Structure 1
């Protein structure tokens, strides 16, 4: 199995989650994929734009290797003002979606499917993996979206074609029955950036 890099949890995380005794191996794998600071957000779930559309408004994608698989974060540089743009150019307005690298091989679909089914049965209020798959599903609708993430090395896959991978993600998302999300704040901020006339203007200037 090569879904992503597994990070060793700290004692703080073990204490917080109370997972000293995982139910079995599937539970243990799920445990290692969840970052300590991933918490449920009661904001309404919002669908984000695809990777292709986010790229059009200046959002870049960056693979990270120092986080658990589910540790996606949206970052914007703190000096976002007109003076910075005039002096330094568009790069100072850079917005970046950091996503732990997803390594997809022949076993990835079955691993994610098992994790999703397991937590829907045993953790009905903590759908971490389902939220992650839904996030990837929002980003990827077509092979063009896959190409964007593969080009940035956010996704490394052995699926034969980008179209095949997009199809795999679509099938996985069809199995999600939860409306809960652990990426509500991230989704809201991405949508705010996407619909901002200011950001669109800067992108056109670049």
Structure 2
């Protein structure tokens, strides 16, 4: 023990000047590395998709036609759209009274702030980075304007005059890795001060153009108008805000949930729960009362998976609250097999635009993989408690058993009534015989 103390004391008394004076290449390299570390910014909001999510469906996160921002710039297969983006930059400049040099200078001044929005260090030099941001931002602004005002679309436009092209671009603008910070779109639009026949639209803004753009293009019911977008990070964040619940999470009936366990639709149906489609446009407005589960309709189309996957990925990377994850978990719990899908489609809770019930079941099964849930903040915890209490009631079990086993068809009901009537008549006959005998 004494020797150990003396060794520690000798280590502390080493002449540090000897270590500092050593010319060790590794130390020099590491010191420079430490000096060049970029400070972490609170502005970070654009991420690469986590590998655990990416491996489930890589295609859901990859752009088909157009790269936006630095992550996919120059990617093979997207080169053809670059010329169209430059054409849209030319259109953008024609709609303003300012020159290209002024906009380059404008983006240059905001370069550092834009870089800080990306979760990874961007290797592009200053000039290349500024070029990417300006061309892509002008392209997006022109897409929003043309989508709102069809008279701005040139007769030879190769994007809006080709339905398959604009459909792919709509999809690509909803990818987490294919985003520009929303503030740069706002600032550039204000700077441009678009002067065309639209000048009578004094309230025209990027946020209004964005609302208009996503009113019909996302394929999910959402109250776009209600969203408070003063702090929107980018398009994916805008969509998440629009889809988020209109009401805060209710506290669960019990103090703390043991686990998240959601019964499938057929199990609930067998327990006597009745499904009705809700009238609300918000997917989270799900209510259960007196045995009736009211759920707003979800339209499942060929863009649903990609859209939800990218919102989920952003939510898991950026937010502490996991509303969309909770919703996907709920739907994944309700849908285990094609029979669950067929039941919900029959009740109009799901609008199946994929055609195949098995495809819908598989979609939610895959969406439910690798998402993080917190049982203490699960949005539907109260709903789970209500459904559990209802299904565990012996009275409801007895009614459901009677319905499913004895009242499945009209003939079964007629047989039950006939049998009951015969029993009553027999009892009456017996009573009458006893009375007459006395």
Q: Which residue of 2 aligns with 1:139?
A: 334
In 2, distance between residues paired with 1:145 and 1:133? 15
Which stretches of structure 1, 4 residues or longer, exceed 4 Å deviation after superposition?
none
Query: CA offsets, 1:103-135, max 9 Å, x none?
Result: 011100000001111111111x21000000000
User: Is the contact between residue 262 and residue 334 of structure 2 (CA under 8 Å) also seen in structure 1?
Assistant: yes
User: Is the contact between residue 41 and residue 183 of structure 1 (CA under 8 Å) also seen in structure 2?
Assistant: no
Q: CA deviation at 1:41?
A: 4.6
What is the total number of aligned residue pairs between the two structures? Answer: 181
1:108 correspondence with 2:304 = yes
1:4 correspondence with 2:214 = no
Instruction: Please identify the structure whose Cα radius of gyration is greater.
Output: 2
User: Is the contact between residue 250 and residue 382 of structure 2 (CA under 8 Å) also seen in structure 1?
Assistant: no
Structure 1 or 2: larger strand share?
1
1:65 correspondence with 2:261 = no
Q: CA deviation at 1:65?
A: 2.9
Q: CA deviation at 1:175?
A: 2.9
In 2, distance between residues paired with 1:105 and 1:4? 9
Q: Which residue of 1 aligns with 2:322?
A: 127
User: Is the contact between residue 131 and residue 182 of structure 1 (CA under 8 Å) also seen in structure 2?
Assistant: yes
Greater RCO, CA 8 A, separation 6+: 1
User: Is the contact between residue 266 and residue 340 of structure 2 (CA under 8 Å) also seen in structure 1?
Assistant: yes
Q: Which residue of 1 aligns with 2:103?
A: none
Q: Which residue of 1 aligns with 2:378?
A: 181
User: Is the contact between residue 57 and residue 194 of structure 1 (CA under 8 Å) also seen in structure 2?
Assistant: yes
1:193 correspondence with 2:390 = yes
User: Is the contact between residue 137 and residue 170 of structure 1 (CA under 8 Å) also seen in structure 2?
Assistant: yes
Secondary structure of 2:379's counterpart equals coil
In 2, distance between residues paired with 1:177 and 1:168? 18
Q: Which residue of 2 aligns with 1:22?
A: 232
User: Is the contact between residue 264 and residue 336 of structure 2 (CA under 8 Å) also seen in structure 1?
Assistant: yes
In 2, distance between residues paired with 1:114 and 1:152? 28
User: Is the contact between residue 301 and residue 353 of structure 2 (CA under 8 Å) also seen in structure 1?
Assistant: yes
Structure 1 or 2: larger helix share?
2
When the two chains are superposed, the root-mean-square deviation of aligned CA atoms in Å is 1.9
Secondary structure of 1:55's counterpart equals helix
User: Is the contact between residue 46 and residue 188 of structure 1 (CA under 8 Å) also seen in structure 2?
Assistant: no
Q: Structure 2 vs 1, CA of residues 197 and 9 (structure 1 numbering), >3 Å: closer, same or farther?
A: farther
In 1, distance between residues paired with 2:322 and 2:248? 11
Secondary structure of 2:330's counterpart equals helix
When the two structures are superposed, what TM-score results if normalisation uses the length of structure 2?
0.39
Q: CA deviation at 1:161?
A: 0.8
Secondary structure of 1:141's counterpart equals coil
User: Is the contact between residue 70 and residue 129 of structure 1 (CA under 8 Å) also seen in structure 2?
Assistant: no
Q: Which residue of 2 aligns with 1:54?
A: 268
